[in-house]
Structure 1
Amino acid sequence: MDFQIQYITPDIKLSTYDDKLFKTETVFEYHMLVWFISGETKIIQADKTYLFKAGDIFLIPRNHLATIINYPKDGLPHKAVVMHLTTEKLKHFYAAVELKHKTTGYDAKIYSFQSHPLLKSCLASLIPYFEVEGTFPEHIASLKITEAISILREIDPDVDFILADFEEPGKVDLIGFMEKNYMFNMPLERFGYLTGRSLSTFNRDFRKVFQTTPQRWLTQKRLELAYYHLKEKHKRPSDVFMEVGFEDLSHFSYAFKKQYGLVPSALN
Structure 2
Amino acid sequence: MLRVPSSIQTSQFEMLSIRRADELRADGSRSDGSEMTFVAYRSDVYPARNEIFFEEHAVVVVLEGEKKFSSPTQELHVHKGQVLFFQRGCYSMNESIDANYRSLVFFMNEKMLKEFVGQHLSLFKAASPPPPADLILSMSASPTFVTFTQSLLAYFGGKSPYLNELLRLKFQELLLHLLELDAKATPAGQLQTILLQIYQGQKADLDYLMSTYLLKPLSMSELARLSGRSLSAFKRDFEEHFHMPPGQWIRHKRLEHAQFMLRNTPKNVSEVSMEIGYESVSHFIKAYKQQYGFTPKQAV
Superposition TM-score tier, normalisation by shorter sequence: 0.5 to 0.7
Partner residue in 2 for 1:236: none
SS in structure 2 opposite 1:125? helix
- Unaligned segments of structure 2, at least 5 residues: 1-7, 19-36, 184-188, 267-271, 286-295
User: Which of 220, 235, 241 is 1:188 aligned to?
Assistant: 220
Partner residue in 2 for 1:84: 107
Residue identity opposite 1:9 in structure 2: S
User: Which of 70, 78, 81 is 1:52 aligned to?
Assistant: 78
Distance 1:192 1:214 in 2: 14
Distance 2:194 2:80 in 1: 25
SS in structure 2 opposite 1:36? strand
Aligned in 2, Cα 1:223/1:136: closer, same or farther, shift over 3 Å?
A: farther
Q: Does 1:118 align with 2:118?
A: no
Distance 1:225 1:114 in 2: 41
Q: Does 1:14 align with 2:47?
A: no
Aligned in 2, Cα 1:72/1:190: closer, same or farther, shift over 3 Å?
A: same
Partner residue in 2 for 1:23: 50
* Higher gyration radius (CA): 2
SS in structure 2 opposite 1:66? strand
Residue identity opposite 1:208 in structure 2: M
Distance 1:27 1:214 in 2: 21
Distance 1:84 1:213 in 2: 32
The answer to whether the 8 Å contact 1:25/1:184 transfers is no
Residue identity opposite 1:83 in structure 2: F
Q: Does 1:170 align with 2:170?
A: no
The CA deviation at 1:35 is: 0.8
The CA deviation at 1:19 is: 4.4
Partner residue in 2 for 1:265: none
Q: Does 1:71 align with 2:95?
A: yes
SS in structure 1 opposite 2:40? strand
SS in structure 2 opposite 1:123? helix
Aligned in 2, Cα 1:171/1:79: closer, same or farther, shift over 3 Å?
A: closer
Number of residues of Structure 1 aligned to a counterpart in Structure 2: 243
Aligned in 2, Cα 1:138/1:171: closer, same or farther, shift over 3 Å?
A: closer
Q: TM-score, normalization: structure 2?
A: 0.59
Q: TM-score, normalization: structure 1?
A: 0.65
Deviations 1:122-166 (A, max 9, x none): 112211221545566233223322222222222223132122332
The CA deviation at 1:39 is: 5.3
| Higher RCO structure, 1 or 2 (CA under 8 Å, sep 6+) | 1
SS in structure 2 opposite 1:215? helix
Distance 1:164 1:107 in 2: 13
The CA deviation at 1:112 is: 0.9
Partner residue in 1 for 2:251: 215
SS in structure 2 opposite 1:75? coil
The CA deviation at 1:72 is: 3.4
Partner residue in 2 for 1:106: 131
The CA deviation at 1:176 is: 4.5
Alignment identity in percent? 14
Distance 1:6 1:245 in 2: 35
In the TM superposition, what are the counterparts of 1:242-253 in structure 2 within 5 Å? none
Deviations 1:65-98 (A, max 9, x none): 322324234234x542122333444344432441
The answer to whether the 8 Å contact 1:192/1:202 transfers is no
Residue identity opposite 1:50 in structure 2: L
In the TM superposition, what are the counterparts of 1:229-244 in structure 2 within 5 Å? none
